[in-house]
Chains A and B, each alone.
Chain A
């Protein structure tokens, strides 16, 4: 079964440092997403990406965040200057055109900002 792969599984970083979270979506999917879940809270939408550009972003996704699909297979989320409140599980997901089958989520990267 095809899967979405995320690396690393756990990242610890100092406040103010830049982090890059990496994802390899399912190869024939066209839509890519980042979501996050702060401990004990709901899964929140960050950004969607289609046709090599951001199609929608939430208010959480401010200027500190950026996404890239640098080589046609990887999909990255960069946080330029991390804050303590960025600590969360970050989930990458991908989907084809039909949402009825749901997205496929990766296992997540646990980001801890200290």
Chain B
């Protein structure tokens, strides 16, 4: 049951160029979306989030775009840096009642930024 899908297992870009990571979801109840970055032997680290009432959120080099009608979101990293090389996870939440914020994760995309 893949409610959150990241169809590209890997992506390779040149340093300084834009990285675009894509994510699709199927559950219409999701109302919050998050991107996490994960290095080997570490836990996921929160990057950026977006509420379903917005279509764009920007934080420094990271921008997340949400297309609700297409149930699609993307993470743009510009300019990409070698230190951005990691696995990027898309996650979604259906917030309910203030008692639980369970996240459903995609399988992740391995981003490699080449110097």
On A, residues with C-beta under 8 Å from B are: 4, 6, 31, 33, 35, 41-45, 48, 50-51, 55-56, 91, 93, 95, 97, 99-108
| Interface contact B107-A91, CB-CB below 8 Å | no
Main secondary structure of the interface of A (DSSP, over half): strand
- Separation in Å of the A60 CB from the closest CB of chain B? 12
A95 and B49 alpha carbons, distance in the complex (Å): 14
| Interface contact A55-B46, CB-CB below 8 Å | no
A95 and B46 alpha carbons, distance in the complex (Å): 11
Identify 20 new A-B residue pairs, CB closer than 8 A, beyond the known A33-B102, A45-B102, A99-B101: A6-B43, A31-B100, A31-B101, A43-B44, A44-B105, A45-B105, A48-B100, A50-B99, A55-B99, A55-B100, A56-B100, A56-B102, A99-B34, A100-B32, A101-B46, A102-B34, A103-B103, A105-B43, A106-B43, A107-B43
| Interface contact B43-A4, CB-CB below 8 Å | yes
A17 and B99 alpha carbons, distance in the complex (Å): 33
The answer, yes or no, to whether B104 is at the interface (CB within 8 Å) is yes
A108 and B91 alpha carbons, distance in the complex (Å): 18
On B, residues with C-beta under 8 Å from A are: 32, 34, 36, 41-47, 49, 51, 89, 91, 93, 95, 98-108
| Interface contact B41-A41, CB-CB below 8 Å | no
| Interface contact A101-B98, CB-CB below 8 Å | no
The 3 closest A-B pairs by CB, nearest first: A102-B46, A105-B43, A99-B101
Residues of B within 8 A of A4 (CB): 43
Residues of A within 8 A of B93 (CB): 99
A78 and B104 alpha carbons, distance in the complex (Å): 22
